[in-house]
Amino acid sequence: MYLSRIVVRGFRNFVHLDVPVTDKVTCVVGENNTGKSNLVFALRLALDAGMSSNYRNLTTEDFSSGTDISTPQQVIVSLEYTDFAAKANEEGMLMQCVVGPNLARITYRFRPRREIREAIKAGKHPVTGLTIDDYRWEINGGGAVDPGIAEWNQDFGQWIKFEELQQSYLVVLLEPLRDVEQRLRQTHFSPLAKLLTPADIPAAERTALVDCLVEANSKIAGSATISSVGTAIKKSMDATAGKAFTMDVALGMSSPTFTDVARNLTVLLSNNAVKQFEPSRNGLGLNNILYISMLVTFFARRVMEAKTAGQLLIIEEPEAHLHPQLQRILYSSLRSDDAQTLITTHSTHITSQAPLSSMIILTNDGTVSTKSTVATKYPDLTESEASDLERYLDATRSTLLFARKAILVEGPAELYLIGPIVKAVMKINLDEEGISVIPIHGAHFESYAKLFRPNAIAKRCSIITDGDAQNDVYEPPLNDEDKEGEDEIDLEFDLFALSRVQKLKAQENDCLKVFVGETTLERELTEVGTLEMFAAACAEVGAPRVSKFLKKLATELPKTGTLSTAQGAKLKRAKEYVLNTSKRFQKGRFAQVVSKYAHLAESIPDYIRQAVVWVTQ
């Protein structure tokens, strides 16, 4: 069986979260302070027997901000499970929780206790004046009322014995700041102790292992040096305590049992340089991998031996201390395992591999509550578009999942130039504003645009795109024969550009706006106020004549006012020179050099200014 749906209402920053969950690895992603850890805590309220029940007695601060608990309120954490039919252990555990064919529900609620609810219903208690002491927690199974709409005074499901439930369903949490080395030393936490119990080893083998220790102890105690130290301690104790209180002293190991054997076993590692060393000599990252590997082995054994009715591994920030390559390997390994896993992450290396359907995206929209979505559940996103997004969301572009706000652009030139020029001219630091400039490496914005809307990813996003569809790829024909149909080809490009922009504009909403330049970025950026910037960059890349022309033109053209026809023609020629120079030296490299001289910029195109102003609101 596996967890298939999570509903959280009224808890901390979650006024209403209702998301599906995948059966393998679910990634909870979002910027800082969107409630990833709060979501993990909410899950544990309903599932984790390892959490003290004291935490289930919530405080006033655990209610969503602005909630007045003096009138009846509730916190709901409801979890639905599926794929348990015809599995004896799982059906037995969920017997009291079934709500439909192959569907079961476990719900944690914190609301006014039964006596208060009944008194209010009978009119014997006012619907005001409640305190936190009037609230109690309960865990119910089943219920005909959907937890997404249940009111505080609606009963649903039946009380279930939490302890019995948790003996069958295992929840293991790995916190973000975990001391794996310490966990491995402690029997209670170490997966090794769970993998090696007396029941796992035949009696004859246990006896043989204990006999090995007995023999070793005898040899140790018989050592001349160790024996002499014991004699010396005995002599000193005789003198200190006196004959009435002295005791015999010998050095050795206590009488061994198999429990001692299991308790004192440790993991020994080897590599090309060192043989059989303890994990304490390892780095934190590899110890994390070791610990997770042991947990997965333990989970797999529980399934093989039919000792479980389900299990959930929760890992906060699995990328902690891990090289990007190891992050990708770890995620792929978790996806291939049988254990259902939920991870919270800030790693674009992980999200670049994760299916979009497996991501719970949390967004801070500026209010006290967090918005949540699984993007592929948005009805207007077609299967083809979802597949495109999963291919396109590499480690760079998946930054949009973590940014507070986003500016989507076509390519590396915009990535390198927009931030520095905005900072120089508009005095706005996009990083400090939590705004990421994200290149999609093309003009295929339609799928991305569908992600940004109030009922999907509720964060502001500006799209900055070129107005021409050709994007300077189309070259003029080389001979007269090739010129046949040139007008029709140009018209086809123009119609495509118009159609593309119209489609994007049609998707605008409270979270998304599209800002279009007339032609290409390099032409649009070439203004009177940026000639000095481009002149310096052209000189560095090796275009001295273009640099000289731009520098001279910067002194001739007025900084303000309308340009004459002749001046306008010169500026138009400058735009073409800059564009051709960027092509000649590769657009990405040229943009990198230009960004070094962004401090010389004194103006910025209106469409880029408007995009920045809108997204920063």
Strand order in the sheet with 512-516: 435-439, 405-409, 461-465, 512-516
Largest CA distance in the chain: 121
pLDDT of residue 342: 95
Q: Quickly state the pLDDT bin for 503 (edges 50, 70, 90).
A: confident
458 and 337 within one domain = no
Residue 375, in any domain of the structure = no
CA distance 63 to 66: 8
Strands 461-465 and 405-409: parallel
Q: What percent of the chain has pLDDT over 70?
A: 85
Decide if 537 is inside a domain: yes
Q: What letter represents residue 583's amino acid?
A: K
Q: How would residue 470 be classed by pLDDT, with cut points 50, 70 and 90?
A: very low
End residue of a domain, out of 277, 309, 341: 309
Q: Is residue 431 part of a domain?
A: yes
Please check whether residue 348 is in contact with residue 399, taking contact to mean a CB–CB distance below 8 angstroms: yes
Tell which residue, 349, 330, 381, has the closest CA to residue 25.
330
- The position carrying tokens 């929209």 is 365
List of residues 6+ apart from 285 with CB closer than 8 A: 320, 321, 322, 323, 326
Per-residue pLDDT, averaged over 451-464, amounts to: 90
Do 144 and 154 contact (CB within 8 A), yes or no? Answer: no
Do 36 and 89 lie in one domain? The reply is: yes
Per-residue pLDDT of 398-454, as tens digits, reads 888 888 899 999 999 999 999 999 999 999 999 999 899 999 988 889 888 988 988
Domain membership of residue 577 (yes or no) is yes
Closest CA to 267 of 276, 255, 257: 276
Alpha-carbon torsion 470, 474, 476, 479, what sign?
negative
User: Per-residue pLDDT tens for 198-237?
Assistant: 566 777 877 787 788 778 777 877 788 888 887 888 788 7
Residue 126, in any domain of the structure:
yes
Residue 471 confidence (pLDDT): 44
* Predicted pLDDT at 296: 83
Q: Which of 48, 1, 151, 164 is nearest to 96 (CA)?
A: 164
What is the rounded CA–CA span in Å between residue 420 and residue 363?
26
Phi-psi bin for 31: left (phi > 0), alpha (psi -120 to 50), beta? Answer: beta
Highest mean pLDDT among 166-180, 252-266, 434-448: 434-448
Give backbone dihedrals phi and psi of 573, rounded to 5 degrees, phi first: -65, -40
Q: Are residues 255 and 326 in the same domain?
A: no
Q: How many CB atoms lie within 10 A of CB 383?
A: 8
* In-domain check, residue 522: yes
154 & 169 share domain:
yes
- Beta bridge partners of residue 461, listed in sequence order: 406, 512
Per-residue 3-state assignment (H helix, E strand, C coil) for 301-358: HHHHCCCCCCEEEEEECCCCCCCHHHHHHHHHHHHHCCCEEEEEECCHHHHCCCCHHH
In terms of domains, do 58 and 150 share one? yes
Verify that 305 and 324 share a domain, yes or no: no
Q: Is residue 451 located within the same domain as residue 590?
A: yes
Residue 198 contacts by C-beta under 8 Å, 6 or more apart in sequence? 206, 258, 259, 262
The answer on pLDDT for 161 being more than 80 is: no
- Buried b / exposed e along 516-529 (16+ C-beta atoms within 10 A): bbeebbbbbbbbbb
Q: Which residue has tokens 């920030």?
A: 317
CATH code of the domain in which 174 resides = 3.40.50.300
Task: Answer whether residue 169 shows pLDDT above 60.
Answer: yes
Q: Which amino acid is at 348?
A: T
More confident residue, 292 or 107: 107
Same domain, 224 and 326: no
Mean of all residue pLDDT scores within the chain: 85
Res. 477 pLDDT band, cuts 50 70 90:
very low
Distances (CA, A) of 580 to 310, 415, 476, 490, 613: 63, 19, 14, 20, 30
Residue 176: pLDDT above 90? no
Percent of the chain with pLDDT over 90: 48
d(C-alpha 316, C-alpha 343), whole Å: 6
Centre a 10 Å sphere on the Cβ of residue 355 and count the other Cβ atoms it contains: 17
343 and 422 fall within a common domain: no
Q: Which residue segment(s) compose the domain that 92 sits in?
A: 2-179+318-356
Q: Token digits for 199?
A: 């029941």
Residues 168 and 187 in one domain: no
Are 202 and 171 within one domain? no
Of the listed ranges 67-81, 101-115, 263-277, the least confidently predicted one is 263-277
pTM to 2 decimal places: 0.79
Report pLDDT for 475: 44
| pLDDT for the residue numbered 598 | 97
Among 50-54, 62-66, 415-419, 511-515, the range scoring the smallest mean pLDDT is 50-54
Q: What's the rounded Cα separation, in Å, for the pair 146 and 151?
A: 10
Asked if residue 387 is part of any domain, the answer here is no
Q: Cβ–Cβ contacts within 10 Å for residue 560, how many?
A: 6
422 lies in the same domain as 569: yes
Q: Are 347 and 394 in contact (CB under 8 A)?
A: no
Instruction: Say if residue 474's pLDDT is above 50.
Output: no
Number of domains in the chain: 3
Quick one: average pLDDT of 35-63?
Answer: 91
Contact 160, 37 (CB under 8 A): no
- Residue 465 near residue 514 (C-beta atoms within 8 A): yes
- Tell me, yes or no, whether 389 lies in a domain: no
pLDDT tens digits, 359-373: 999 998 777 788 888
